[in-house]
Amino acid sequence: MKSVVGVCALALGLFVPALGTAQGLQDEIPRLANGKPDMSGIWQTNNEANWDIEPHIARHSVEMREGPVNPVPSIATLRMGAVASVPGSLGVIVGGGRIPYTDEARALKAENMANWHERDPEVKCFMPGVPRATYMPMPFQIVASENDFFIAYQFAGAVRDIYMDNPGPSQVDSWMGWSVGSWDGDTLVVDVSGLLEGTWFDRAGSHHSNQLHVVERYTMVSPNHIDYEATIEDPVVLTEPFTIKMPIYRRIEESARLMDFRCVEFVEELMFGEWRRNPLPRD
């Protein structure tokens, strides 16, 4: 009996400080004048979601072809070696499953992956869309006030205004969509619609239609940590909605800032070089 009491006391002693620490972190969260969390700052994820949001093992290349025994890197990525190899990941889909694609949509994902260098919009420096902009391997900056919420992304200079006054539905589709925000307690909920179908979720060919609807949830759980969730609906290519979830971390170094990455000029040779008066070799 004494041993049981001792174990319980030890467990309680370990558990209570942990609760106190969590509460302490909550108390340290910066807040706006209206009492809501102030998420202003430079943020970045640290995961493999941009490679593939689904669970996957490491593979030779982001683009593969059939080999004599097993798949091997495609001609387009062969000389990139390990630089284009894909790190393994448990994925970011809640529940650990795969994207609930229809059979036709699943086949298109595989086709996209096999033609990654020609089809991935990231390769051509198109805007990343939502939710992909969040987990691109570059930082982004949140600027918040009591009435405004703005996000600037380093990749391609993409930006988003989160409309907190709900001006109504979008009148036109765009790469970064139309974002309307509201507060659910201390969680910022962002309803995103009006997204062009040209964006992907990752480098693995995960696509969507122009009926994509995303609901994001940003929950600050410490001064330097946001829990991010995005529920994705698309009646054209999905059999049911699914949710991705990941932590976002504050960049705390003194020099943290967004750098200039206007990649449009970086892909001019790729996209238009063949139309030069005197084209350079392309293979």
What would the pLDDT profile of 238-261 be if each residue is shown by its tens digit? 999 999 999 999 999 999 999 999
Which tokens go with 35?
A: 């009492």
The number of domains in the chain is: 2
| Residues 170 and 84 reside in one and the same domain | no
In a domain, 283, yes or no: no
Q: Are residues 119 and 60 in the same domain?
A: no
Q: Is residue 282 part of a domain?
A: no
Residue 12's pLDDT is 45
Average pLDDT over residues 182-207: 97
Tens-digit pLDDT profile for residues 143-160? 999 999 999 999 999 999
Residue 283 — very low, low, confident or very high, per pLDDT cuts 50/70/90? Answer: confident
* 78 located within any domain: yes
Q: Which amino acid is at 244?
A: I
Tell me whether residue 8 is in a domain: no
Q: Are residues 133 and 85 part of one domain?
A: no
**129 in the same domain as 74:** no
Residues 168 and 66 in one domain: no
21 in any annotated domain: no
133 falls within a domain: yes
Distance between CA 21 and CA 46 in Å, rounded? Answer: 23
Same-domain pairing of 62 and 179: no
Q: Among the three residues 71, 89, 107, which one is the final residue of a domain in this structure?
A: 89
Other Cβ atoms less than 10 A from the Cβ of 240: the count is 7
Q: Is residue 75 part of a domain?
A: yes
Q: What domain range is 224 assigned to?
A: 31-54+90-275
Query: Same domain for 95 and 149?
Result: yes
Rounded to whole angstroms, the Cα distance separating 151 from 179 reads 11
Are residues 137 and 192 part of one domain? yes
The CATH number assigned to the domain holding 210 equals: 2.40.128.20
Domain boundary at 69, 89, 109, which?
89
Residue 15 falls inside a structural domain: no
Does the pLDDT of residue 14 top 70, yes or no? no
The percent of residues in the chain predicted with pLDDT above 90, rounded, is 86
Residues 73 and 139 in one domain: no
Same domain, 148 and 125: yes
**In this model, does residue 164 exceed pLDDT 90?**
yes
Domain shared by 44 and 160, yes or no: yes
Q: What is the pLDDT of residues 99-138, one digit of tens each?
A: 999 999 999 999 999 999 999 999 999 999 999 999 999 9
Pairing label, strands 213-222, 242-250: unpaired
Q: DSSP E strands: which ranges in the chain?
A: 41-44, 64-65, 72-73, 140-144, 149-153, 159-163, 178-184, 187-193, 213-222, 225-233, 242-250
Q: Looking at the structure, tell me whether residues 194 and 249 fall in a common domain.
A: yes
